[in-house]
Amino acid sequence: MLKLIKESRSFFETQKIESKRNKLNNLIEDPKFWDDRQQAEKILKEKKGYDNLLNSHKQSEDEINELYEIFKLANDENDKQLIKESLDKFANLKTEFKKLEIKCFLSNENDTLDSYLEFHAGAGGTESQDWAEMLRRMYMKWATDRGHKVELISEHKGDEAGVKSSVIKISGQYIYGFLKSESGIHRLVRISPFDSGARRHTSFASVWVYPVISEDIDIEILDKDLRIDTYRSSGAGGQHVNTTDSAVRITHLPSKIVVQCQNERSQHKNKETCMNMLKARLYEHEIQKRKKENDNIESSKSEIGWGHQIRSYVLHPYRMVKDNRTNYENSNPDKVLDGEIDDFLERSLYKINA
């Protein structure tokens, strides 16, 4: 029991979090704190996150101490049923401490931000387009099951099924931090529902994750570097959307980054959303460029080939989802595709922070 308590407590060290919170408290106590209201609100939001972590830790510590007293009493009286219940509760608390530790890993500047997820079907027509939509559904299900807000920003439907490309926005606490390692190529092996001969097919689709950055971050975008196209929306939105050029596509010529939005009825609002997405993409592009320079790794879309998939989802001839970076496997692909991807996300975070 003492070993279990020690293991549980080792999952979470408060010193680093308390130090960050204290620095924010010093900023809040500054008489000029509210001179920049937008920055002040950002700091208060960050402090609230640290407060929640520390309060959760204290609550778990109190529960552990209380359970330990119960366990000692049960052990003295040789109450096997109570001993078992105490050990079960300790195991549950250990799981909660683990979740707190994971949040401690999410301490980079952008980890607390909302996130855009961009999906692209690979070569293979309907097969890959259907796979891209399956991936989109997986992440949307993961988000909604955890109470996060999901918005469809744009989609380019497939010719027969699925999507050729799509962008969604997920809003919630630590979204980018949890999902940032999901960028890459995802591979599916299955018996095709579109093949009359019931043959096995391998399909690829890409997922790219980037943060919804704060508007106070200075990203210079010159008008001469932009090509702005409007077109009719192919998605839902009623007669107005489908009969007017309300959808917007913006191409940033120097970086060749393309963003598009069609979820609003107003062309003006779609353009505003596109500009926010472009700003986020350029910010992430610069981060990745610096990372590549420092680590000499390939990290941009154009350099990740179809043979460099990060995860494989095999539905035939056996059933397995395997992450090629952490070697973690799950033998229930149906649950994974239904949004149960926390184990994959957690192991990626452990690998990053190892």
97 versus 80: the higher-pLDDT residue is 80
Q: Which of 51, 85, 105 is the last residue of a domain?
A: 105
Domain identity same for 75 and 142: no
Q: How confident is the model at residue 155 (pLDDT cuts 50, 70, 90)?
A: very high
Q: If you ran DSSP here, which 8-state letter would residue 281 be given?
A: H
349 versus 147: the higher-pLDDT residue is 147
Question: Residue 252 has what pLDDT?
Answer: 94
> Closest by alpha carbon to 156, among 131, 133, 124?
133
Q: How confident is the model at residue 95 (pLDDT cuts 50, 70, 90)?
A: confident
Helix (H) or strand (E) holding 42: helix 37-76
Domain that holds residue 313: 115-301+308-352
> Is the pLDDT score of 104 beyond 80?
no
> Is the pLDDT score of 151 beyond 80?
yes
CA distance 279 to 276: 5
CB atoms within 10 A of CB 308: 11
> Is the pLDDT score of 84 beyond 80?
yes
Share of the chain above pLDDT 90, in %: 44
Domain identity same for 236 and 284: yes
> Is the pLDDT score of 157 beyond 60?
yes
Question: Residue 49 has what pLDDT?
Answer: 79
Domain identity same for 161 and 224: yes
Can you give the pTM of this predicted structure?
0.70
- Report if residue 284 sits inside a domain: yes
Tokens of 260: 């598009």
CB atoms within 10 A of CB 64: 20
> Is the pLDDT score of 54 beyond 80?
yes
Domain identity same for 67 and 120: no
Distances (CA, A) of 223 to 226, 261, 268, 312: 5, 19, 16, 41
Question: Residue 236 has what pLDDT?
Answer: 46
